[in-house]
C-alpha cells in the first residue's frame, strides 16, 4: 500500500494544484500555525485553509447528487474532487442526515473498503474516513487512510488507542443526540447569568476541550487533533448562526477547526432553497467560517470552495501588505 511521502502537503501550495502534494511559493503565507501531521510523516502546515471533499459511499445521503451506488462511482468522485483541488477526501459509508438510522458494521465495511481500496490504487492524496467504529477505522487505516473523522466524538473506546497506535489524525466533533434523535434534542440550559448563546458556546467548548484532553491522555499527539463544533448536529438554524458568528470563542490551543456546513438544512431554512440549490448559501456561510478562523472546509463542491479560498487568501495577502 502506498502512503503519502514525508513532507508538506497542500497547506503550503497553490490551492487547486490537483494533487494536493506539490509545493508552490506563489501562495501568500500567513502566520505559521502548528502543522497537522499525518501517518508516514506527511503534514499540512495550515498556512491557508484546506478543502476536505465529501465522498458518500451511501444510497441515502441528504444531498441526492452526492450519493454513490458502487465503489467505482465513489472512487471516481474522489478522484474528481482531487483534480478540482481537494486537499483531503473524506469517505463515509453511513449517512448522518437528521432522522437517519445507523447501519451495521458489516454493511459499513462493505460500502467503504472497496471504494477506498480503488482510490488508494490511483492516488496518494490524504484520506479521511467518516466512521464512529474502531473496527471500521482499523480496516480503513489498513487500506491507507490517514485520518478518522468521528461525529460521535470517539464514543467507541477502541478509537483513541487505535488512532494513537497508528498515528492517525483525528476529527473530534460535538453532537447532541444521534442522527436519528438530534432534531428533537433540546438545547442545554445556559446557566445562571448567561444567555442562550453563551450557554451554547460554553457547551461546545467544554465538550471539545474534554474530547481533546481524552485524546491527548490516550496518546494522540496535539499535532494530529482537529476540532469540529458540529454545525447542524442537534442545533437549530439560529444556533448554527451563533456558532458561525462566535467561532473564535470555540477555538483553543491552536487546534484547527473543521467546519461542515455544505448544503445543510439551516441554509435551506434561511434561503428557502432545496439542497440542490444551496451552493450560493453554502459559499456565503463558508466565507463567514473562514473569517471566524476555520482551517478546514468539508464540502460537496470542491471547485466552488477552491474559488472561495483563493479570494480569501488574496484578501489576506492585500490586508497584510503583500504583493501578488
- The residues assigned a catalytic role are 264, 298
Helix axes of 196-217 and 237-245: crossing angle, nearest 10 degrees? 70
Can you read off the three cell numbers belonging to residue 89?
A: 477526501
Cell numbers given for 36 = 497537522
* Contacts with 309 (C-beta within 8 Å, 6 or more apart), sequence order: 15, 48, 49, 51, 290, 297
Residue for cell digits 489524525?
A: 169
By the 8 A CB rule, do 128 and 56 touch?
no
What is the CA 127 to chain-centroid distance, rounded?
11
Give the number of other CB atoms < 10 A from CB of residue 30. Answer: 16
Question: What is the C-alpha to C-alpha distance for residues 48 and 29, in angstroms, rounded to an integer?
Answer: 7
**Integer Cα distance of 156 and 154 in angstroms:** 5
Amino acid at each position: 500500500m502506498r502512503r503519502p511521502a514525508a513532507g508538506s502537503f497542500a497547506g503550503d501550495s497553490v490551492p487547486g494544484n490537483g494533487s494536493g502534494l506539490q509545493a508552490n511559493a506563489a501562495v501568500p503565507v500567513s502566520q505559521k500555525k502548528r502543522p497537522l501531521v499525518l501517518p508516514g510523516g506527511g503534514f499540512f502546515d495550515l498556512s491557508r485553509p484546506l478543502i476536505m471533499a465529501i465522498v458518500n459511499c451511501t444510497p441515502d445521503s441528504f444531498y441526492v447528487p452526492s450519493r454513490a451506488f458502487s465503489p467505482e462511482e465513489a472512487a471516481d468522485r474522489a478522484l474528481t474532487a482531487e483534480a478540482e483541488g481537494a486537499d483531503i477526501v473524506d469517505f463515509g459509508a453511513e449517512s448522518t442526515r437528521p432522522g437517519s438510522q445507523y447501519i451495521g458494521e458489516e454493511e459499513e465495511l462493505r460500502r467503504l473498503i472497496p471504494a477506498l481500496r480503488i482510490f488508494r490504487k490511483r492516488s496518494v492524496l490524504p484520506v479521511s474516513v467518516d466512521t464512529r467504529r474502531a473496527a471500521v477505522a482499523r480496516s480503513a487505516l489498513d487500506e491507507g487512510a490517514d485520518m478518522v473523522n468521528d461525529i460521535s466524538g470517539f464514543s467507541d473506546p477502541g478509537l483513541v488507542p487505535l488512532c494513537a497506535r497508528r498515528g492517525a489524525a483525528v476529527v473530534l466533533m460535538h453532537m447532541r443526540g444521534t442522527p436519528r434523535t438530534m432534531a428533537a434534542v433540546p438545547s442545554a440550559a445556559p446557566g445562571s447569568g448567561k444567555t442562550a448563546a453563551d450557554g451554547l458556546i460554553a457547551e461546545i467548548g467544554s465538550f471539545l476541550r474534554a474530547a481533546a484532553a481524552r485524546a491527548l491522555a490516550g496518546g494522540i499527539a496535539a499535532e494530529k487533533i482537529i476540532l469540529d463544533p458540529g454545525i447542524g448536529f442537534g442545533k437549530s438554524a439560529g444556533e448554527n448562526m451563533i456558532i458561525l458568528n462566535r467561532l473564535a470563542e470555540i477555538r483553543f490551543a491552536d487546534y484547527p477547526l473543521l467546519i461542515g456546513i455544505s448544503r445543510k438544512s439551516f441554509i435551506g431554512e434561511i434561503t428557502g432553497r432545496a439542497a440542490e440549490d444551496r451552493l450560493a448559501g453554502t459559499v456565503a456561510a463558508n466565507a463567514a467560517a473562514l473569517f471566524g478562523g476555520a482551517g478546514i472546509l468539508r464540502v460537496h463542491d470542491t471547485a466552488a470552495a477552491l474559488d472561495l479560498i483563493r479570494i480569501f487568501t488574496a484578501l489576506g495577502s492585500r490586508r497584510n501588505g503583500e504583493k501578488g
